[in-house]
Structures are given as structure tokens and as C-alpha cells.
Amino acid sequence: MRIGMMRDHFRQSIWGRNKAVFGANAAILAVVSAGLLVSACSGSKVSDPFAGKGSPKYTKSGPLPKGGGRYHIGKPYQVAGRTYYPKAEPGYDRTGIASWYGPRFHRRMTANGEWYDMEYRSAAHATLPIPSYAKVTNLENGRELIVRINDRGPFSSKRIIDLSKRSAEILGTKTKGLARVRVQYLGRAPLNDQGSHLASMNTQLQRGATTRQMIAYLNQGKEHRRSPAQSVVTARNEWGGQGDALSAPEGYFIQVAAYSDVNNVRIAKERLSGVGPVVVTPASSAAYGTVYRVKIGPLPTQQDADVALRDVVSAGHSDARVVYAAK
């Protein structure tokens, strides 16, 4: 199975990956390392049909769309002689090994029809419903993260979850490649979340919300319910190019940029939606008329702000900085 590639970049989980999950009776096909054979649902072994090409790739320019796709559980399927049984498991709580996957699958279609963004806080799981939320705890350093499960994998009896590159960085597993983690299923994720709901979930996690509280929140409101903090952020995002800013809540913010062109504001919001809640504040300028200040926040801790700042700088905003707002 390992075919001599365990070292170094094998940690990117070049085991089986995407798939062909569409169609009522379609077998799930995995993109796997060279020479690996995939067992189709009929039980016969066939060469990987995606070898050298992979699942469909997003070819348009600009940032990858977030969300979309469809809710999916799927029928039992086989990969490399092992049968997987997708199902809803409300009480799913397992410990095991996490791996991660990155550039080779970046911008390719996931198992439920979304686009894989290695810089997004997502993950792949072999059997849980997709898209869904799971809380992942790195048992080696105590770091926690809510991830959006929107893909299938890893296809190995020794690993229970495949993290995106960004998720692995946040949890501190990327450098090592593999780490022992705890995975707790929370519930279905909003189908068309643009990143703000996932960011809000992680903000609540950092503020000390228990797993039970987060599950209860999802079950009560599904994708339509907003927490009070989310409602404030949403109101501030629906600026529509005019109006007064709401009073800012307390916390850390990433000061991103100021724009006079609303198209630039929309582009910035799309690119930064996966980092955290995007706040747009209109302001008057003698030189430029109305300008729109773009911020990320509020973020509860300095550590969260530092992580977000790195993401913002990586997105091309080298002048971004952390600011603190007190009530």
C-alpha cells in the first residue's frame, strides 16, 4: 500500500482522494498514488480512472467559491479492498490518526460538489455526512478546531480524518504530518456558507463553548439561526454601499484596507470570507468621498488575531495589522 512514499510529502495524504460520487448508483472512485488499484463497488479491481487527471478542477480566475454542492451520505463503497459505510452518526466521537492533503488537490471538486481549498478550514472523512461540522482536537498539544467536512478520505485503516493544509497548520499537525486527534461530530453544516458561519463556530469554540452547546445550537437553528454576535456582523456586512456603521463590539480586529471602489470591497470580502467575519464600515473622506474600511473580526484572543493576520497577509494584504477595540 505505501509503495515507498511514506517519507516527507506522503504526509500530504496522497492516498486515495476524489472520487465520482454523483448519480444514484455511482461508485465512489478515489484519486490514489501511482500504481494503487481501486476496488469498484462490483468488487473487481480496476486501474484508477482518474490517474494523472484527478477530479474536475476549478479553472476560473479569482478566489474559489465557498459552499455549494449538496448534502450527501451515500451508499457503501470499496477502496483498495476495504468497504466503507457512510451514515449519520450523531454520537460520533473517535480518537485516531489525522493526516493532511494540500497542493495536489487544490481547486479540485470534493465529494459533495464543492471546491477544495487547501487554505480553508476543511477536512475529509470516509463516512460522516457531507457537508458537516466536526470538532478536531490535537491530543498532542491540546489545540482545537471546527472543520467543515466536505470530502471523502483518508482511505486507510490507520487514519480517521484528512485535514486541509490550513487546518493542519492551525492544529499544529502539518510539520509532523501525522498526529493523534479526537474527532467529534457536531452536525450538518450550512450548505451555502461563504465562510462566516464556520468562522463564527470557531469563535464560539475559542470563547469556551462546550461541544454539547455547539451541537444544541446547530440542532435548534440549523443553517438559518444566528447567534447575537453573528447578527451584528451580518448587519454590518449588508452595507449595500451606504449607511452608517454600527457600534463595534469589543475584541481584536484585522485592519485590512480601505477602498473607494465598491467592486474592490466585494472582491476583498470574497477572498477573506474564509478567514473570519468580514466587517465593512463606510466613512467620509475629503479626498475620495465615501470610502469603505474592511476589517476581520471581532476575534476573541491575540492568538486568533495573529493567525488571522497571517491569512490576510497571505491573501495579498501586506499592510494589514492587528487592532484592538474596547467598548
CB 260 within 8 A of CB 289: yes
For residue 167, give the 3-state DSSP assignment: helix
Q: What is the distance between the alpha carbons of residues 200 and 174, in angstroms, rounded to a whole number? A: 24
What local confidence, expressed as pLDDT, does residue 286 receive? 59
Q: What is the pTM of this model?
A: 0.57
Q: Which of 15-29, 176-190, 281-295 has the lowest mean pLDDT?
A: 15-29
pLDDT value, residue 288: 57
Is 77's pLDDT higher than 60? yes
Structure confidence at residue 20 (pLDDT): 35
Q: Judge whether residue 322 has pLDDT over 70.
A: yes
Pairing between β-strand 82-84 and β-strand 93-101 as defined by DSSP bridges: unpaired
Q: What is the pLDDT of residue 287?
A: 56
- Least confident piece of the model among 80-84, 203-207, 230-234: 230-234
Quickly state the pLDDT bin for 326 (edges 50, 70, 90). low
The percentage of the chain sitting over the pLDDT mark of 70, rounded to a whole number, equals 72
Which DSSP helix (H) or strand (E) runs through 101? Answer: strand 93-101
Cα-flanking dihedrals φ and ψ of residue 293, to 5°?
-85, 130
Residue-wise pLDDT for 172-214, tens only, equals: 999 999 999 999 999 999 888 888 889 888 888 888 888 888 8
pLDDT of 106 higher than 60: yes
278-285 β-sheet, strand order? 278-285, 289-299, 251-259, 321-325
Q: What is the pLDDT of residue 96?
A: 97
Task: Return the top range by mean pLDDT from 28-32, 44-48, 65-69, 141-145.
Answer: 141-145
pLDDT tier, 307 (very low <50, low <70, confident <90, very high otherwise): confident
Instruction: Please give the distance of CA 166 from its chain centroid, rounded to a whole number.
Output: 8
84 or 25: which leads in pLDDT:
84
H or E stretch at 204? helix 196-206
Q: What average pLDDT does the structure give for the chain?
A: 75
Per-residue pLDDT at 48 exceeds 70: no
Say what the pLDDT of residue 150 is: 96
The predicted structure's pLDDT at residue 40: 31
Which of 100-109, 133-142, 222-231, 276-285 has the lowest average pLDDT?
Answer: 222-231
DSSP 8-state assignment for residue 12: G
Higher pLDDT, 261 or 79: 79
* CA–centroid distance for 188 within its chain: 14
Distance CA 219, CA 226 (A): 12
* Sole residue written with cell 480553508: 120
Q: 3-9 contacts: CB < 8 A, separation 24 or more? A: 3/33, 3/34, 3/35, 3/36, 5/33
pLDDT in the model for residue 266: 82
Q: What is the pLDDT of residue 157?
A: 85
Residues of the chain above pLDDT 90, percent: 34
Domains contained in the chain, CATH given: 8-194 (2.40.40.10), 228-325 (3.30.70.1070)
